[in-house]
């Protein structure tokens, strides 16, 4: 398990979020209804095929997790019986995109979805959790947030964008021409003329009082928790279900694909998909990208063992196996080296794998109940009773 996955699981645990698993294959219709008919994902990126069942159902490899979680949530009846649920998931997602650094056709996400919490404190809690994860992983990152309004105030923003798009028709790209009527929010994503988008209307100028208050509270809570963020009024996200808070976390060293975490609120989605009117919010971590960011930041995981066991001779090998077990029982990372090599080779192997200690055991050591503990970092060696080896190794951690 990668360091990213290990830390993500640990943090979800601390935030009392439960795991959910769902299929890799879903009905294609699920994504058309939730991710959105006019999104890039549904229009061109899904791997779809027709199942050989009677109804010749169109199915798709999941391009994201949110729709499946919402489907499962409704099918389990949580929307009516027990709406407040905190769920996380992980696994491969599939999108037919042009592969490049940080963008793959099969990639891995860790996601969180929280239902039944329309309050701003929930948005803040999620963002604080992401901030904690990035600190924990020592990934230099920046957080951008925005509010894109709700069903009440979004129509006015939409109309303003359509008008702006028509007024700038000649300067817009072909993709944007088709977006004007179908999905005008995506005009702000135009990569061809990012400068032009600066003159476009901003969602924040169209928020209704409730949405504005919600966003103000999110910002206030983040500030109180010392989380650094910037408001990016151009961020709209490429998926249809978002309402109110939207956010992206960017990391350095990734080139064009710098967004490592993304998400937002989707208060209308459960209802759109046939459930009760229950609020939702969530995000997904791009595990591959975060791993690349770790590499770029030089914080690659430490796989080095605490100790390498060097056994000299047949009797020592039997004995060393028991010693290795004892050390592992004390939570130490231990590698048994091949007993068929010479001492010199074994010590150089121990250094190569980055072991802090070599625990050397020969017939003489067995007879006297000791081991030779060689500190490979400080190039020192001492003899200690076998029973004290675990403590001595653990004490030297971080020294």
Nearer to ligand HAM, 79 or 365 (CB): 79
Q: Are 141 and 292 in contact (CB under 8 A)?
A: no
Q: Taking CB positions, which residue lies at the least distance from ligand HAM?
A: 286
Work out the number of other CB atoms within 10 angstroms of the CB of residue 148. Answer: 26
Q: Closer to ligand HAM by CB, 103 or 328: give it.
A: 103
- 8 A C-beta contact, residue 87 and residue 58: no
Instruction: Output 197 or 239, the one with its CB closest to ligand HAM.
Output: 239
Number of other residues whose CB lies within 10 A of the CB of residue 196: 16
DSSP 42: I
Element (H or E) spanning 371, and its range?
strand 370-375
- Supply the minimum distance, in Å, between the C-beta of residue 37 and ligand HAM: 16
Query: Which residues would be at the binding site for ligand HAM (CB under 6 A)?
Result: 64-66, 95, 97, 102-104, 107, 109, 111, 113, 259-264, 282-284, 286, 288-289
In which residue are the tokens 């992980």 written? 90
Rounded distance, CA 191 to CA 182, Å?
18
Q: What is the nearest approach in angstroms of ligand HAM to the Cβ of residue 141?
A: 12
Taking the least distance from each CB to ligand HAM, the nearer of 26 and 97 is 97
Q: How far is the CB of 40 from ligand HAM (least distance, A)?
A: 9
Least distance (Å) between residue 281 CB and ligand HAM:
7
Q: How far is the CB of 108 from ligand HAM (least distance, A)?
A: 8
As measured in angstroms, the least distance from the Cβ of 211 to ligand HAM is: 18
Among residues 242 and 357, whose Cβ is nearest to ligand HAM? 242
Smaller CB separation from ligand HAM, 201 or 264: 264
> Measured between alpha carbons, how far is 225 from 219 in angstroms, rounded to an integer?
10
- Output 237 or 356, the one with its CB closest to ligand HAM: 237
CA dist., res. 46 & res. 36, Å (int): 12
Rg for the chain, CA atoms, rounded: 27
Q: Tell me the closest approach of the beta carbon of residue 113 to ligand HAM, in angstroms.
A: 6
User: From CA 340, how far away is CA 121, in angstroms rounded?
Assistant: 61
Burial class of residue 229, CB neighbours in 10 A (0-12, 13-18, 19+): middle
β-pair partners for 231: 145
Dihedral, CA atoms, 113, 119, 122, 127, nearest 10 degrees?
Answer: 100
């Amino acid at each position: 398990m990668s360091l990213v996955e290990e830390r993500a699981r640990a943090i979800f645990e601390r935030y009392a979020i439960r795991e959910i698993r769902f299929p890799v294959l879903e009905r294609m219709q699920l994504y058309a209804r939730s991710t959105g008919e006019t999104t890039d994902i549904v229009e061109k990126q899904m791997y779809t095929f027709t199942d050989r069942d009677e109804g010749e159902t169109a199915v798709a490899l999941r391009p994201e997790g949110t729709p499946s979680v919402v489907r499962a949530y409704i099918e389990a009846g949580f929307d009516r019986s027990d709406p407040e649920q905190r769920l996380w998931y992980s696994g491969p997602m599939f999108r037919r995109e042009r592969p490049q650094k940080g963008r793959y056709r099969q990639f891995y996400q860790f996601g969180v979805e929280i239902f039944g919490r329309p309050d701003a404190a929930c948005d803040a809690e999620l963002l604080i959790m992401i901030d904690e994860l990035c600190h924990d992983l020592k990934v230099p990152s920046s957080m951008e947030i925005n509010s894109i309004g709700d069903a009440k105030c979004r129509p006015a923003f939409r109309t303003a964008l359509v008008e702006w798009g028509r007024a700038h028709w000649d300067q817009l790209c072909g993709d944007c021409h088709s977006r004007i009527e179908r999905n005008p929010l995506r005009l702000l994503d135009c990569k061809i003329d990012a400068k032009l988008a600066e003159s476009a209307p901003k969602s924040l100028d169209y928020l209704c009082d409730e949405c504005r208050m919600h966003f103000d509270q999110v910002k206030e809570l983040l500030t109180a928790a010392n989380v650094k963020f910037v408001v990016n009024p151009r961020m709209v996200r490429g998926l249809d279900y978002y309402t109110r808070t939207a956010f992206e976390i960017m990391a350095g060293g990734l080139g064009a694909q710098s967004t490592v975490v993304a998400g937002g609120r989707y208060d209308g989605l459960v209802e759109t998909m046939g459930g009760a009117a229950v609020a939702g919010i969530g995000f997904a971590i791009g595990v591959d990208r975060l791993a690349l960011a770790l590499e770029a930041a030089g914080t690659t995981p430490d796989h080095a063992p605490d100790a390498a066991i060097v056994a000299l001779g047949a009797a020592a090998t039997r004995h060393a196996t028991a010693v290795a077990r004892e050390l592992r029982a004390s939570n130490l990372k231990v590698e048994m080296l091949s007993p068929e090599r010479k001492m010199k080779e074994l010590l150089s192997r121990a250094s190569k794998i980055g072991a802090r200690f070599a625990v050397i055991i020969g017939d003489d050591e067995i007879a006297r109940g000791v081991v030779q503990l060689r500190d490979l970092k400080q190039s020192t060696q001492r003899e200690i009773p076998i029973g004290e080896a675990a403590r001595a190794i653990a004490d030297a951690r971080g020294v």
